[in-house]
Amino acid sequence: MYFDSHAHYDSRQFDRDREELLAALPARGVECVIDPGCDGETSRLALDIAERHGYIYAAVGWHPQEWESWTEGSLDEIRALAAHPRAVAIGEIGLDYYWDKEHKELQEHMLRAQLELALELDKPVIIHDRDAHADCMAITLGYPALRGVYHCFSGSAQMARQLLEAGWYLGFDGPVTYKNARRNLEALAATPLERILIETDSPYLTPEPLRGQRNDSAKLEYVVRKIAEVKGMEPEAVARATAENARRLFNI
């Protein structure tokens, strides 16, 4: 049974068949899912989905790409949403210099405000880090009491070791199955099983051999197989251990 620690079922790509898909996933081997919001609206949608499906939980937060909608009231909005009993983390939050290098200061302000909120509320965080490794690490490691996961980890093996030493979990998903995955696989090899979370980032990052299709949590089997191959383990043992890791981090 798989624990998908990051899937966006609030995405519009699931509007046509969301309820049918989510009703079917447990029978396809999915025992638990975390749906992270990216702003106020999607955080509320994630909570609504979690209310309707007992195996789904939500995270609430403001993604760096959503900087245009961030206001003085956004942090209070996230604080209120985080009080919901199905909200288990603050996320998806972080830095993204791939899409936007013009608003680094605002992105950093958003990230720091939400990290401090997570510490205030004693909740783990889900970190988005795209093309911003140095800044993201400098900020997050500056809060040693934080706990959380670097979602869709894309850094080097050396960066992985630094984060692991500081107590972080690392999330691995479809890219570990891609042909150009050398860097991802090096980081995966450096990460002990007890600190790995598995993810889909649905509807994105569909693993090989299904790239081009919409992703969903049942496709975790391909990620699990690759991790098992790298670690020299049976896929069932990887699925079981990563589910235990996620339950421990998110207190489920």
How many residues does the structure list for the chain? 252
**Phi, psi torsion values for 218, nearest 5 degrees:** -65, -20
CB proximity list for 120: less than 8 A, separation 6 or greater? none
Q: Identify the pLDDT of residue 98.
A: 87
Average pLDDT, the chain: 96
Cα separation, 96 vs 122, whole angstroms: 25
Q: Identify the pLDDT of residue 101.
A: 74
Q: Identify the pLDDT of residue 100.
A: 72
CB proximity list for 25: less than 8 A, separation 6 or greater? 33, 55, 216, 217, 218
Query: What are the beta bridge partners of residue 87?
Result: 58
Low-confidence ranges of the chain (pLDDT < 70): none
Cα separation, 225 vs 223, whole angstroms: 5
